[in-house]
Structure 1
Amino acid sequence: MHDPIAQFLASTSEHVTDAEEEAFLLFSQDISTGNLGFVDSHAASVDVTIRGNEYTIHQSPSLLSSSRAGGTTGAVLWKITPRFAEWISSTTNPLWTHCLLSCASVVAELGCGISALVALAMAPSVQHYLATDQEYVRRVFRANLDANASVPSAPPASCKQISSKAKGSSRKSTSKHKQPTKAVTNITFTTLDWELDQPELLKGCIESKSESESGGHVHEDEGDEEDRGFDLLLSCDCIYNEALVAPFVRTCAEICRLRPAYAPSDEGASQPRRQPTICIVAQQQRAPEVFETWLRETLREFHVWRLKDDVLGDGLKLGTGYLVHVLLAREKS
């Protein structure tokens, strides 16, 4: 029995086992330099193009410069976000070509910030997208969903085919007039405190929304056990402060362990009923000591791979100042 995750990893990634060695390798190379990574921290809005679609992203420069307790970095758009949104939503992304994602997938994001850009780019291709951050993000995040509701974004062709078979209706999956609506209505924002909240309750936010939209009743197949987990967990540029590393990694691990942990399967071995959660962490290269601290903590909880340049393309490959790693939760000891 083939293991699609193992095939994905073998063709796309380099296995990482040593934090100090990985940090030395990555930070000894020449990388692009610039400011902290803002697109334009003074503009009230910025225009961004993703896969040929134009988005207007509203920001809150005044909030960024405020003394709000708990941080304000999510108040503006960061340079890595459009690049990552372009890559993760592309029809050639290996998560799609290896059938690890489909239009039936449910995706969660940590530290989404105000832009909603990754959610807007990816939501048309999946069943539901759950974006999480602190409460101060909610108002502008919602404004960006509303401002970009009319941006067309077709799901991958493979997703259309799966959707037609699963739902028994090709009209819904191919109607261009329905796509902008889906891009907004299947995105949920909820707050998530990495130190205080319970990740196992996250999916309830989606179910509650679905119940309210369906008049209080959500159909579930008989015999299906409750799935509190996600197919994909994303994080884009959340690692910049050593104090945040431990709660961030712990939250990632707790969310990923809502699904089975990953163990490479032997030929003929039975597969778990549900696919392990794949976690993708993208970040800008800043302080090597912060990166090494993050990786050392992460390796305790996860198997880790770094995606290769030919998979990431020009926007995220080594030397651009950005890194993308794949995490799969270890069995809890």
Structure 2
Amino acid sequence: MKLDKLLEALGQPIQSFEEETFELFAQELPSQNLGFVNSKASTVELTIAGRDLTIHQSPGVLSSNRAGGTTGAGKQNPSPFPTPFPLSHRRLTKLTRLQTRHFISSALLIIWKVTPLFAEWISSPSALLFQSDILSSDSLVLELGCGISALVGLCLAPRVRGYVLTDQTYVAKFVEQNIAENAHISTSTSKGKPKGKRTKGSATNTGKNNIIFTPLDWETDEATLSLLTGLPDTAGRKSFDAIIACDCIYNEALIDPLVSTCADVCRLRVQESENDLNPSICVVAQQLRDDQVFEGWLARFMESFHTWRVPDELLPDGLKSTSGFVVHIGMLKEAYTP
């Protein structure tokens, strides 16, 4: 296994979820409201790593009634929030279960502030996972709770062998629309090229259709080898090198299904252990909103995973904990012992 570089950069794993929570939330965190990039626009223009992207979203759903599952299940109440949401409603745990589920399912259809920051960082050749040889042009990556934007996948897919986006079935239309709209990202990773222009670049998977969407409900679906089925080239692999969850944690109702799904996907690598591969790495990025929700997630995550916080010195300024965001890395306990 090739973990030495990663472990040297991360240092000791977290020992106490209470101390980690206190350390993060004792800081003076900037106000991000609920953390939307733009909760009103149907189209958002973003520039990430010198690339222009057009992302379609559905802000109208914030005041609609719609049924769904985790990450938003059951019959929905009208949105408890006006648009844009006021700062006074930041503590999502104060909402009823159905209100929170409506908020969560609605939030899947708009872009969170942490997503562009995380997408730019993790797709950079200088990012921790590439520098430590955890990710490479041969890697397979799965994202949980990708939402509508497909933003992380659009940025990272050109640098890996295959990328699987997963979420509720109802976001598929937007995900596929955004993949098609931003197909130029998959054909070149060189900076400064205008949107839509196909030019020669340094992408490791230039021209390959190596990013797909597969529905996955954390409560009702099982994480199996079928998640790899749609990828055109897996090189015979039966598991993922990395599992990504970007801002998927909003309230206690999501914690156990999310962590259980993370663990189930990582166990696919344990079953493939005869190939002497690194354990699957779970990367969780989130905005620091509510200390109780965060502590609940971390406590549950640490039951299944050895957990490290990515040090601020390895992150860009906008993604540091002092900016109100945090990135953690986990390795399944049954797959690795420090």
TM-score (norm. length: structure 2): 0.80
1:318 aligned partner, one-letter code: S
Give secondary structure in 1 for the equivalent of 2:54.
Answer: strand
Q: Distance in 1 between matches of 2:130 and 2:189?
A: 11
Q: Distance in 2 between matches of 1:178 and 1:7?
A: 24
- Aligned partner of 1:319 in structure 2 is 322
- CA deviation profile, 1:260-279 (whole Å, cap 9, x unmatched): 39xxxxxxxx9961221011
- CA deviation profile, 1:93-137 (whole Å, cap 9, x unmatched): 121112111111110000001111111101111111000000111
- Aligned: 1:185 with 2:209: yes
Query: Following superposition of structure 1 onto structure 2, how do residues 162-241 of structure 1 map, counting pairs within 5 Å?
Result: 176=200, 182=206, 185-207=209-231, 210=232, 227-241=237-251
Is the CA contact (8 Å cut-off) linking 1:280 and 1:325 kept in structure 2? yes
Match of 2:62 among 39, 61, 64: 64
Is the CA contact (8 Å cut-off) linking 2:44 and 2:55 kept in structure 1? yes
Match of 1:119 among 153, 162, 183: 153
1:62, CA displacement in angstroms? 1.2
1:39 aligned partner, one-letter code: V
- Aligned: 1:84 with 2:118: yes
- CA deviation profile, 1:189-229 (whole Å, cap 9, x unmatched): 0110111111113434325xx3xxxxxxx896xxxxx6431
Give secondary structure in 1 for the equivalent of 2:239.
Answer: coil
Is the CA contact (8 Å cut-off) linking 2:187 and 2:206 kept in structure 1? no
Could you say if the C-alpha distance between residues 181 and 313 of structure 1 is closer, same or farther in structure 2, counting changes exceeding 3 Å?
A: closer
Tell me which moved more, 230-239 or 323-332.
323-332
- Aligned: 1:305 with 2:308: yes
1:244 aligned partner, one-letter code: L
Could you say if the C-alpha distance between residues 313 and 139 of structure 1 is closer, same or farther in structure 2, counting changes exceeding 3 Å?
A: same
Q: Which ranges in structure 2 are unaligned for 5 or more consecutive residues?
A: 73-104, 191-198
- CA deviation profile, 1:269-295 (whole Å, cap 9, x unmatched): x99612210110000001100000001
Q: Distance in 2 between matches of 1:180 and 1:308?
A: 28
- Aligned partner of 1:29 in structure 2 is 27
Could you say if the C-alpha distance between residues 155 and 5 of structure 1 is closer, same or farther in structure 2, counting changes exceeding 3 Å?
A: farther
Matched-pair identity in %? 44
Match of 1:293 among 293, 296, 300: 296
- Aligned partner of 2:91 in structure 1 is none
- Aligned partner of 1:161 in structure 2 is none
Q: Distance in 2 between matches of 1:254 and 1:242?
A: 19
- Aligned: 1:10 with 2:8: yes
1:155, CA displacement in angstroms? 5.4
Q: Distance in 2 between matches of 1:4 and 1:151?
A: 30
Give secondary structure in 1 for the equivalent of 2:270.
Answer: coil
Could you say if the C-alpha distance between residues 305 and 272 of structure 1 is closer, same or farther in structure 2, counting changes exceeding 3 Å?
A: farther
- CA deviation profile, 1:45-96 (whole Å, cap 9, x unmatched): 1111111001011110112332223222110111000000000000101211
